[in-house]
Structure formats: structure tokens, C-alpha cells
Amino acid sequence: MNILEAINDGLRRFTDFKGRSNRKQYLSFLLFYILVDLFINLANPNGTTINNVIMGALIVPLIAVEIRRSHDVGKSGWWILVPFYSIYLMFIESVPEAPIEKPEL
């Protein structure tokens, strides 16, 4: 999955607060969020209304990606309320998924 696919996945699954997002998806979407904010502030430094609208629209997908990344490291989504936990999510490895056991016939 390349960076654009990871960003697209974050935007498409903005209502999905279950499941998992790997570190690349999380970092790609976080970088996208920061670059959009930086571009808007540089392009229109006095336009706080447009900045608030765009950043308000992107905050829900960012929270969804953070919650899915939290699930990926084996924690509850509520951990994103802890200060600096987002930085921790950048560096921690994913927890492998448990294999699904097939019932024997």
C-alpha cells in the first residue's frame, strides 16, 4: 500500500472505528492532515473560517485512524485521550492478529 492509498483508505473509512490500521496508514494520514493544515494557513493566513471548516471535516477521519491504530497495537480506542499517546502510536509495533480457528467437522 503506497501513501496515496493509505490516505484514501483513511478518508473512505472515516466512520469505521473498529478494525485496525497499520503504522504506515496512520503516519500517512497524519502527514496528510499536517500538510493540509500547513497549506491552508500559508495560502490564506487570515482565513480562519475556511481553515476551521476543512480541519473540522478532517478531524473525524483522523480520530478514526488513531482509534484503529490503537486497536492495532492491542489497546482500547479510549487511549487516544491520553496526552502524547499519538506520538507513542508512531513508534510502537503492531500486535499480530490471532489466527481464526476453523471448526473441525
Tell me the pLDDT tens digit for each residue of 87-98: 998 998 888 877
Percent of the chain with pLDDT over 70: 96
What is the C-alpha to C-alpha distance for residues 62 and 80, in angstroms, rounded to an integer?
A: 11
DSSP labels, the chain: --HHHHHHHHHHTTT--SS---HHHHHHHHHHHHHHHHHHHHH-TT-HHHHHHHHHHHHHHHHHHHHHHHHHTT--GGGGGSTTHHHHHHHSPPPPPPPPPPPP-
In this structure, the chain runs to a length of: 105
pLDDT of 105 reads 63
Model pTM greater than 0.85? Answer: no
Q: What distances in angstroms separate CA 67 from CA 13, 29, 49, one per listed residue?
A: 12, 13, 27
What is the per-residue pLDDT across 13-45, written as a single tens digit (0 to 9) for each? 888 899 898 899 999 999 999 999 999 888 888
Is residue 73 within 8 Å of 92, Cβ to Cβ? Answer: yes
